[in-house]
Structure 1
Amino acid sequence: MGKFNRYLITAALPYANGPVHIGHLAGCYLPADIYVRYLRAKKADVKFVCGTDEHGVPITIKAMKEEVSPQDVVDKYHKIIGDSFAAMGISFDIFARTSDPIHHETASDFFLKMYNDGLFEVKESEQYFDPEKNVFLADRYIIGTCPKCGNDKAYGDQCERCGSSLSPDELINPHSALSDAVPVKKKTKHWYMPLQNYEPWLKEWILEGHKEWKNNVYGQCKSWLDNGLQSRAMTRDSNWGIKVPLPDAEGKVLYVWFDAPIGYISATKELTNNWSDYWCKEDTKLVHFIGKDNIVFHCIIFPAMLKAHGGFVVPENVPANEFLNIEGEKVSTSRNWAVWVNDYIQDFPDQQDVLRYVLCATAPETKDNDFTWKDFQDRNNNELVAILGNFVNRAMVLMHKLCGGKVPRLHDEFLDDTDRELLKEFSVAKEKIENSIENYRFREALSEVIEFSRKGNQYLQKSEPWILASAIEKLNSGQPHAKYELKDVPMLQARIDNCLHVSLQLTANLAIFLHPFLPFTSKKICHMLKVVDRMLDWENAGSVELLKVGYTLRAPELLFKKVENEQIVAQVEKLHAGLKQSAAATAAATTVPVVEEAPAAPAKPEIQYDDFAKLDLRVGTILQAEKVEKADKLLKLLVDIGTEQRTVVSGIAMHFKPEDIVGKQVTLVANLAPRKMRGIESQGMILMAEDNGKLIFVNPAEAVKPGSGVS
C-alpha cells in the first residue's frame, strides 16, 4: 500500500433533483465501493465520503416543474438517493448534504480565505435579465427557437431535440421561462478565479507527475491545458445556493462547481473531528471516483482551488469512467430513458448483487458501454448461476452427502497433481485480483474471481467424488468393482475428503474475493460456512486453511436464481412505457417547456425526381421470422416479393416477436446493395415509421400481390 498511511475516497455528489440510475452506479459509485471495501479488508485507515449536491440550476428547474420550493426538492431526493445507495450496498462512511450548515460555513470560509489572499479578479459583464421577475437568468431559464432545427422549446445552453450546444444570443425569439418576458442584457459583477495562473503547476503536477492516470482522464486534462486556461467566474446571480460572504454581493451565490467539491471537505468534517488528517497530511491518498463529464472540475478546477487556498492534499488519482448506455441508446433522464435504481430494487428484491455483478462486468472503464436486459439475464444465468453459484452449491451438497456435513481433513499422503495444482491457484488468484483492484481495473479483477470459481467446477468434475463414493458403496456391499478392491476403500474415502476439503477452502476464499464486489453474496457464503466477518480480512485471502477440520457447516442454500424471459420482456416494456409517459408529460407541460418526445425528423435536403426514380420499392409478405443469434436487436426475415424470396436482416427484434409478424405485408427497398450483418447477407431494407419510439410497418392499406410496385 506504499507510502500512504490513510485513504480518503470520494464519489461524485449526485444532484438532488431526481433518483439515481444504473449509469450513475456504473460510472463511479460501484467502482468506489469496490475499492473501499478492498481497502477496509486490508485494514487500511480509509474514509469514504459522498452526499447530495443541492445547489445550482438543476435544482431550481426541478422545483419549477414540480411547483414546489427548491428545499422540498432536495429533501425529497436526498432521501430517495440515499436509500437507493444503501439498498445497493454502497458503503459510504457518510452521505452528507451541501445544504447542511457545516457545508455553508466550510464553503464560505474557503471563499473568504481566497478573497482575503487577493486570489480573485472582479469583473463586470452583461448577462440576461428578466425585467418582470427582476432576476438574472441562467441560460437554462431562457427558452426560444433553435436556429438549427426549429425547435421552439430550445434552452439557452442546448437544444435537446437536435443536441446542438447553444448560447442565449443564438435563440430566435428568446423569452424567460419564469415570466415569458423578453430578457434584456444587464451589467452584473462577479468574482473570477484566474485559472491561467495555475497552469504551470497543473502541467507539472498532471502531465509530468501523473502519466499513470487513465488515458481518458490524462488526455482530457492535456487537451484543456494545451488549449490554455482562462479566468472562470466563481459566483452566480441566484437566490438559491451559498450566499457570497461579502457585503457588496447581494443576490450572489457561490458557483455550484466551487461549492460542490468543497462538500467532500465539509462531509469529512461532519464525519470526524480528525478531518484535517485526511485533507492536510501528505501521507493521505485522495482518490476521486467520478464520471467522465466531471473530469475538468476534479482534475483542474478543484485542484487549482486547493492549491490556491493552501494546506490541502490534491488527488493522487481520478479514475473516471465513461458512460453506460441502455439498450443501445444514451441515458436521458428528461426522456425517462433510464433504469432507476429504486425501481430495480422493487422489481428484483434481494438481487442487488446481480446488478452489481453485471454493472462491474460491463463497466465503461475505458470506453462507453451498453447495458441490455438480455445481457443482464445471460450473465446472471450463465455466470452467476451456472458457474459461481453452481460450484458453491455442489461443494456444499457433496460435503453434506459424502462427509457427514463436516469439513473433512486433508490426507497429505493421498494428494494428487489435480489437488496440488488447484491449491497453488489460491495465492495466484489473490495476487491477480489485488493487482487489478489496486490499478482500478475492476472488471478484470471480477473476471479473475469468476475464473477461480470456474476452476473449482473443473476440479470437481475431474475429481468425481460421487463416482468414488459409488465405488465405496459397491465394495462395502460385497459387490466386485472393475477398478478397485475392498482394501482401496480408505484410499477412496481419503480422495473424497481431499476433494471436498480443497473445494470448501476454495469456497471460503471466494467469500473473501467476492466481498468487495458482491457483499451480500459473500455474507451468504459466510453464513453457510459458519464463519465470522473477520475471515473476510484480506490477509486471509489465498490461505488453504481457512476452515477448521471437523467443523459442522450449515445446509446449502442457492446463492442466485435464474432470471426468466418474462422478467426481461417486462423490463424492456417498462423502459419504453417510461419513454411514452415522459413524452406525454412533456407535451402537456406549460410552466417550464421541455423537449417533446420523438419529434418529427427535420426535412432532408431536396432531391430530384430522377433520384427518387432510382428506388425499386416493392410490397412483400413475411414468410418466416427468427432472431439472429447473439444479436438482441436483429431479426432474420424471409420475404416473398413475387419473383423471388429474399433474406432481410432488420433491427426490429426489440419491437416485434418473430411469430407475430409472419404473414405481415411490408414495403421493401428491393434494389439496395446486399450487406452482411452478423454473417448473414441482407438483400434489402424494410421501410418503417416511428411514432414515439414505436415502430410501425409501412404497408398498403389493403392486401396486394407480393411484388407489387410502390410509386
Structure 2
Amino acid sequence: MRWIITSAWPYAHGTPHLGNIVSSLLSADIFTRFLRIQGHEVIYVTGSDEHGTPIEVKAIQLGVKPKDLTDKVHNEILKILKGFKIEPDNYTRTHNEVHIQFVREVFDKIYKNGYIFTKKDKLLYCPRDKIYLPDRFVIGKCPYCGYESARGDQCENCGRLLTPTELINPRCVICGETPIVKESIHYYFDLTKFESILYKWISESKTLSENAKNFSIQMLKQGLKPRSVTRNNRWGIPAPFPDASDLTIYVWFDAVLGYVSAVKELFLKRDMDPDKWKEWWWDKDTNVAFFIGKDNIPFHTIIFPALLLGTHDPYTLKFHIGSTEWLTFEGKKFSKSKGIGIWGEEAISLLPADYWRYTLTLIRPETKDTDFTWKILEYAVNEELNNHIGNLVHRVLKLIAKYNGYKVIPSSITRDSEKELNKLVYEVSAKVEELYYNMRFQRVINEVMKVVKRANAVINDERPWELYKTDYNAFKSMIHTLAKVIRDIAIMLYPIIPDTSIKIFDYLNLPMQNLRWDIIGKDFDHEVEIKRDFKPLFKKIDIEELKKKLSLMRGEHIKIDENYLKKLDLRVGKILEAEYKKGSTKIIRLKVDIGDKIIKILGGLGEYYKPTDLIGKTVVVVANIKEKKIMGEYSEGMLLAAIDEGGGISLLTPDREDVKAGTRVG
C-alpha cells in the first residue's frame, strides 16, 4: 500500500518550539517509521514555508532581504530535524523553482476551468511608502477587545480574525503613517462551486476522522464563500493570471500545494521520470496523511481538496488527518520574546533525541490540550526510560552474559509466567498496531509499558539466577522468552525512539532487516550471541542542571565579579526625541542626553510605550556598550529596564526628577 506522509510546513520566520515539533514534524516521522516496518511503500515530504506577509515584514524590520532571512531559518530547521532524528525523504522549501512553477501551473488550470474570478477590493494603502498593506503590514486597535497592537489579519490578544480595514486607527508597520483606503483588483477562488462535491466526499469518507468530518461539515453547512488567492505582496509566487503582474499567490494557497510539488521534486532529485509523482498523487488508492494543529483542519479538508478538484486532474482524496490540540509550557503559551518554552535548537543541545521524542509523545495533545513541565520530562526520562525500559533491557542482557555465555538458545516454554508474558505481547502488539494506524501515539506508550512492567515483574518473581542453579532448561527457556520480549519492545517503540531500538537490536546482534512488525512474537530460529560491550541505554537527568544549562545558553543568570561591573559606564540620561523606526512599530529611535553628549539609542519599546510618552523621561543608560546595528542603523547605548513575568517592560528611572543628565550610576 502506498502512503504519502506530510506535516504542517514550519513557517520560516523562526525556528519551531516543542509544541510545533510534536504536532507536525515528529508525529509525521513516527507514522512514517511505523508504516515502513509494516512493509508499506512510504514517502514523507515537508519543508519550510517561506512566503507571506510576516516574513516580508520581519525582513524589512531586520533590514535584510526575505530570501536571506528564510535561508538562515531553513538551515537552522534542517539542523533541528537532524538533532531530533526526524528524517523526511524530502525537506524542501516553497521558494524553489519546482514549487513555484507547479503552483503557477495549478492556478492557471483552475483559472482556465472557470473557478477564478476578479473582484475590486477596498484595501489600505500607505501613501508614504507607496504600497498596499495586506495582513500584517498594518496594525491598529482591535474593534472587539481594544488591543492597541492588533494585526491586520488577527488580534493576538482576543484571537478574532480581522481584515486590515476593520482596525481602528490603523498604522503602516513600515513607517508608522496612517494609511488611506484604495481599490485594487484581486483574484478569487470560487469555493461555492465545490460545496456539494466536498460535502459528499467528506460525509462518505472512510479515512477522515470523525472529528475532522464533523468540523468540516459544520463549515459547509454554514456555507462557503469565495476566497481571495492573491495579495499585493512583493515576496511570493507571481500570480499567473492576466493583468496580475503586481500580485502574488496568497501564502496559504501556495503552501498546501507544496504537498504535491515536494513529491514531484523528490523524484526529480532521484533522477527519475519527471511524471513519476503522478503515479502517487493521481492514484485513487494512494493514502495521504497530514499531521497538523487543529486550527489547520479546514485548509486540508476544504481548501486543498477544492484546489485539486479545480484542476480536473485525477488526484487521490484518500486523506487521513492527524490533528492535535495545543501544547503549553508550564501552563503558559510558548513565547520566545518572554522566554517561555524550549525551542528546537535548544532541545537538541540539552538532551539526546530519544529523550525528547519519548517525552513529547508521552504528552502528545491528542484529544485535549496538554502541558509540558520540567517534572514530566524528569519522570519520562528517569522513571519510564531509565528505570523501566532501560533497566529491563540491561537486566536481560546481563543475565544472558553472566549465566549463558552471551548466548540465547531457542527453547520450549516451560513456565506459566512465560506463556502469560507471550500472550500479553501478542495482545499489546495488536492494540499498538491499531493505535498507530489511528494516530494515537501517546497511547502506544501506555500499552507498551504494560509489557515492560510485566517483564520486569517476571524477573523479580521467577528469579532466573536461581533457576540457573536448580533447573537449567527452565532458565534457558526464560532467557529465550525475555530476549524475545525486549526485541519486540524495540520493534513496537522503534517509531518513537528509533536510536534506542536500533541499539537494542545491535546489542542482541540481530540484523536490522528483522526490525519489522511481522517479527513480533516469533521465536528466534537460531542461536543468538549478544554483543559483549553493551551499556545502559539511558542516563538519569538532573532538571536543575538542565535549567542552568538552558539559562547559560540564553545568556541568563551569568555571574560577574565586581571589577567587571565597574567597567560599565552607567549614567542618568534624558530622552530628548522619540519616534518609530521606519519599517517597525516595535523599534523606537531615541535621542538621549547623557551629559557630555547626545547619543542615539534604538530599542524594542513600541509594544509598551508610545514615542510621545518617552519624550522628557529620565532613564538609566549603559553609555559604553558596543554599538549594535538594528534594522540597518547603529544604536549607541542601551536603556536599563525591569522585565516582569509576562515579559512586560518598565524602564528604570531615578526616584527624583532633579537628577541631572550624565550623573553616574554605581
Provide the TM-score with structure 1 as the length reference: 0.76
Query: Take 1:72 and 1:420, find their aligned partners in 2: how far apart are those partners?
Result: 62
Q: Say whether the 8 Å CA contact 2:152–2:164 is kept in structure 1.
A: yes
Residues 457-536 of structure 1 aligned to structure 2 (within 5 Å): 457-469=456-468, 472=469, 489=470, 492-536=471-515
Which moves more between the two structures, 35-44 or 213-222?
A: 213-222
Corresponding position of 2:56: 60
Corresponding position of 1:645: none
Query: Take 2:386 and 2:431, find their aligned partners in 1: how far apart are those partners?
Result: 23
Residues 548-559 of structure 1 aligned to structure 2 (within 5 Å): 548-549=526-527, 551-559=529-537
Corresponding position of 1:192: 188
Query: Take 1:159 and 1:574, find their aligned partners in 2: how far apart are those partners?
Result: 34
Query: Take 1:353 and 1:29, find their aligned partners in 2: how far apart are those partners?
Result: 15
Provide the TM-score with structure 2 as the length reference: 0.81
Shift of 1:124: 0.8
Q: Given the alignment of the two structures, is residue 418 of structure 1 paired with residue 396 of structure 2, yes or no?
A: no
* Partner residue of 1:304 out of 273, 281, 306: 306
Q: Given the alignment of the two structures, is residue 89 of structure 1 paired with residue 88 of structure 2, yes or no?
A: no
In the alignment, residue 458 of structure 1 is paired with which amino acid? A
In structure 2, relative to structure 1, the CA distance for the partners of 1:145 and 1:420 (3 Å cut) is closer
In the alignment, residue 525 of structure 1 is paired with which amino acid? I
Query: Take 2:219 and 2:301, find their aligned partners in 1: how far apart are those partners?
Result: 10
Q: Say whether the 8 Å CA contact 2:134–2:164 is kept in structure 1.
A: no
Q: Say whether the 8 Å CA contact 2:396–2:479 is kept in structure 1.
A: yes
Q: Given the alignment of the two structures, is residue 236 of structure 1 paired with residue 231 of structure 2, yes or no?
A: yes
Shift of 1:213: 3.6
Answer with 1 or 2: which has the greater Rg.
Answer: 1
In structure 2, relative to structure 1, the CA distance for the partners of 1:166 and 1:121 (3 Å cut) is closer
Corresponding position of 1:155: 151
Shift of 1:217: 2.2
Which moves more between the two structures, 383-392 or 137-146?
A: 137-146
In the alignment, residue 379 of structure 2 is paired with which amino acid? D
Corresponding position of 1:633: none
Q: Say whether the 8 Å CA contact 2:52–2:235 is kept in structure 1.
A: yes
Residues 532-551 of structure 1 aligned to structure 2 (within 5 Å): 532-545=511-524, 548-549=526-527, 551=529
Q: Given the alignment of the two structures, is residue 344 of structure 1 paired with residue 347 of structure 2, yes or no?
A: yes
Corresponding position of 2:644: 691
Q: Given the alignment of the two structures, is residue 79 of structure 1 paired with residue 75 of structure 2, yes or no?
A: yes
Corresponding position of 1:246: 241
Q: Say whether the 8 Å CA contact 1:337–1:578 is kept in structure 2.
A: no
Residues 601-680 of structure 1 aligned to structure 2 (within 5 Å): none
Aligned residues: 571
Q: Say whether the 8 Å CA contact 1:360–1:442 is kept in structure 2.
A: yes
In the alignment, residue 460 of structure 2 is paired with which amino acid? Q
Corresponding position of 1:287: 289
Q: Given the alignment of the two structures, is residue 440 of structure 1 paired with residue 439 of structure 2, yes or no?
A: yes
Corresponding position of 2:392: 391
Q: Say whether the 8 Å CA contact 2:199–2:220 is kept in structure 1.
A: yes
Shift of 1:432: 1.4
Shift of 1:293: 1.8
Query: Take 1:515 and 1:588, find their aligned partners in 2: how far apart are those partners?
Result: 56
In structure 2, relative to structure 1, the CA distance for the partners of 1:193 and 1:166 (3 Å cut) is closer
In structure 2, relative to structure 1, the CA distance for the partners of 1:694 and 1:567 (3 Å cut) is farther
Gapped regions of structure 2 (runs ≥ 5): 268-272, 558-577, 587-603, 610-641, 649-666
Corresponding position of 1:659: none
Partner SS for 1:244: coil
Shift of 1:467: 3.0
Query: Take 2:442 and 2:397, find their aligned partners in 1: how far apart are those partners?
Result: 28
Shift of 1:599: 6.4
Query: Take 1:158 and 1:291, find their aligned partners in 2: how far apart are those partners?
Result: 17
Query: Take 1:302 and 1:291, find their aligned partners in 2: how far apart are those partners?
Result: 16
Q: Say whether the 8 Å CA contact 1:15–1:58 is kept in structure 2.
A: no
Residues 262-273 of structure 1 aligned to structure 2 (within 5 Å): 262-272=257-267, 273=273
Q: Given the alignment of the two structures, is residue 323 of structure 1 paired with residue 326 of structure 2, yes or no?
A: yes
Q: Given the alignment of the two structures, is residue 20 of structure 1 paired with residue 12 of structure 2, yes or no?
A: no
RMSD, matched Cα: 2.7
In the alignment, residue 499 of structure 1 is paired with which amino acid? M
Query: Take 1:321 and 1:552, find their aligned partners in 2: how far apart are those partners?
Result: 41
Corresponding position of 2:104: 108
Q: Say whether the 8 Å CA contact 1:337–1:575 is kept in structure 2.
A: no
Gapped regions of structure 1 (runs ≥ 5): 473-488, 580-586, 601-688, 696-711
Q: Say whether the 8 Å CA contact 2:580–2:606 is kept in structure 1.
A: no
1:627-651 per-residue CA deviation (whole Å, 9 max, x = no partner) reads xxxxxxxxxxxxxxxxxxxxxxxxx
* Partner residue of 1:226 out of 217, 221, 227: 221
In structure 2, relative to structure 1, the CA distance for the partners of 1:467 and 1:250 (3 Å cut) is same
In structure 2, relative to structure 1, the CA distance for the partners of 1:408 and 1:16 (3 Å cut) is same
Query: Take 1:315 and 1:336, find their aligned partners in 2: how far apart are those partners?
Result: 41
Q: Say whether the 8 Å CA contact 1:31–1:289 is kept in structure 2.
A: yes
1:375-416 per-residue CA deviation (whole Å, 9 max, x = no partner) reads 11011111111111110010011111111111134255xx01
Q: Say whether the 8 Å CA contact 2:50–2:94 is kept in structure 1.
A: yes
Corresponding position of 2:115: 119
In the alignment, residue 259 of structure 1 is paired with which amino acid? D
In the alignment, residue 380 of structure 1 is paired with which amino acid? V
Partner SS for 2:320: coil
